[in-house]
Structure 1
Amino acid sequence: MKYKSNFNVVYSCRYHVVWCPKYRRPVLVEGVDVRLKSLIVETCSKMNVDILEMEIMPDHVHLLIEVDPQFGIHRAVKQIKGVSSRVLRQEFSWLKSRIPTLWSNSYFVSTVGGAPLAVIKKYIENQKTV
């Protein structure tokens, strides 16, 4: 496993993130998907967030990203959704007539990687016995 570090934290914080357009409308089509990918890459690059995998479906987005824990996953997702919404609604004016805002307020996030939970629990339980 490869770890990253900033000045005082060594980490491996990988997240699977999924979010949808408002009302799960299938509006990520007709070039919106391509532009969204480039916006996500650009935004993540500015935040030093690594994209491990990305897929844009017509009605949702999947991201596998690695985020510095001091920056935070919520802050990263908020920035990605905010920038992409603003730019896409400017560049694709038809989005404004289809939905009141581009993204729903919510998103799904799950940590990814490392050992299974049972293995980590066992490791911590056995610390004093080793």
Structure 2
Amino acid sequence: MSPRWVPDPNVRKGRSVIHDLHAHLVFVTRDRRGPFTDEILTRCEEVMRNVCADFGAQLREFNGGTDHVHLLLHYAPQVRLSTLAGSLKGVSVRRLRQEYPEHIRKYLQGDHFWSPSYFAGSCGGAPLTVIEEYIENQKRSV
């Protein structure tokens, strides 16, 4: 008798699609100045988890340093990654400015907090455990 097939928890089903999409995003602050403390990184993660949930995505891993954040996302094919990235950056800075106004104001360049560019990499070639371990082991250095 053959062993029963166990479904992969990463494979998700939609109405007309079965998918397993992951992306590694990196956002850096404008001019790589270091606004992040451990407290602010923790709050940034909470905000970004909520934004992902609003898009039907899942924030699998989050970490960062004084001037950047790494995210590992699990998302559906109908999610436009560039739109999600824009929302993650926009909502996070809006919340951080509301909650830490004096601190964040020191790191704004004009009205800008995040660099306008970002890194996005698909995570299909390397095993996800390697990417998760990489992000988990990033030094916060704060």
> Quick check: TM above 0.5?
yes
Point out the structure with max Rg over C-alpha.
Answer: 1
Identify the match of residue 84 of structure 1 among 92, 96, 99.
92
Identify the match of residue 40 of structure 1 among 44, 48, 51.
48
* Cα shift at 1:115: 7.8
Specify every segment of 5 or more residues in structure 1 that has no aligned partner in the other structure, as ranges: 117-130
TM-score of the superposed pair, with normalisation by structure 1:
0.80
TM-score of the superposed pair, with normalisation by structure 2:
0.74
2:35 aligned with 1:27: yes
> Percent identity of the aligned residues?
29
Matches within 5 A, 1:1-130: 1=8, 2-29=10-37, 31-94=39-102, 95-100=104-109, 101-113=112-124
Specify every segment of 5 or more residues in structure 2 that has no aligned partner in the other structure, as ranges: 1-7, 128-142
More helix by share: 1
Contact 2:107 2:113 in 1 (8 A): no
| Equivalent AA in structure 1 for residue 107 of structure 2 | R
Q: Please provide the CA RMSD for this pair.
A: 1.9
**What is the count of residue pairs matched by the alignment?**
116
Contact 2:61 2:73 in 1 (8 A): yes
Contact 2:20 2:74 in 1 (8 A): yes
